[in-house]
Copies of this chain bind each other. A is one copy, B any other.
Amino acid sequence: MTADSSPARRDAGRPRGATVVAAVLRAVRAELADHGYEGLSVERVARRAEVNKTSVYRRWPTREALVAAAMEGLLDDFGDAPDTGTLRGDLHALASPIADLAAQPEGVALLRAALSPATGSDLALLAARRGEAAPPGEGSATGGRQPPRVAFAERARARGEWRAGVDPHQLVFTLVGAIIHRALFERADPRGGWLDRLVDLVHDGASSGSPADRPPRP
């Protein structure tokens, strides 16, 4: 569901539509942190966002759609890993905002909601649409569209830093999975030195670097 296909279309040109969307999705994340997915109420979301309840329902008819939209907003934030000039730097820049999110109660609540059986199917569809659900050749539903997230791998390939045969999607999801395990199972901080070591581990597995480039770590 996008603003283009919703009744909000007739508001085109007025900033109000986008402002409402941003306010509602911000409120969804805050409410998830306070009450969890099971306790998420559209009424409270509307009150917190200071919008009419019908403004929420006409864009997102179900609670699942609301959470999926909040999740999609986050995926967009993570889509543009900056070009730092090295594979290690790019991986760190990609993982850092995810770790920052997972270090906050709001992020933990959103991750838990994403794991709920109810939202799961919406989110699986979302991931498939974005071409991030399956590596190429394994039943990707995207017809070969390249999600922005793997631009870092193209840059590393061009610099001769990328090891042939490594799947960039699998690498990103390994970083994300390790951060989720750290925050949700171990309940420990997924940032700082822990994140540096994770990036080292995954970088060295994906890199074509010679042993001279990979001294023992202190």
Interface, chain A (partner B; CB < 8 A): 36, 38, 112, 114-117, 120, 123-124, 127, 132-135, 138, 163-167, 170-171, 173-174, 176-182, 184-188, 194, 197-198, 200-206, 208, 210-211, 214, 216-218
User: Does B115 contact A165, Cβ atoms closer than 8 Å?
Assistant: no
CA–CA, A42 to B127, complex, Å? 36
CA–CA, A185 to B127, complex, Å? 9
Q: A177-B178, A202-B205 are in contact. List 18 more A-B contacts (CB 8 A).
A: A112-B116, A114-B185, A115-B185, A123-B185, A124-B187, A134-B186, A163-B214, A164-B216, A166-B197, A167-B197, A174-B178, A174-B198, A174-B202, A200-B205, A201-B206, A205-B205, A210-B211, A211-B211
Chain B CB within 10 Å, residue with most, of A38, A112, A116, A178: A178
CA–CA, A173 to B194, complex, Å? 12
User: Does A170 contact B198, Cβ atoms closer than 8 Å?
Assistant: yes
B-side contacts of A198, CB under 8 Å: 170, 174
User: Does B205 contact A201, Cβ atoms closer than 8 Å?
Assistant: yes
B-side contacts of A178, CB under 8 Å: 170, 173-174, 177-178
B-side contacts of A185, CB under 8 Å: 114-115, 123-124, 127, 173, 176
Nearest residue (CB) in B for A165 is B217
User: Does B202 contact A163, Cβ atoms closer than 8 Å?
Assistant: no
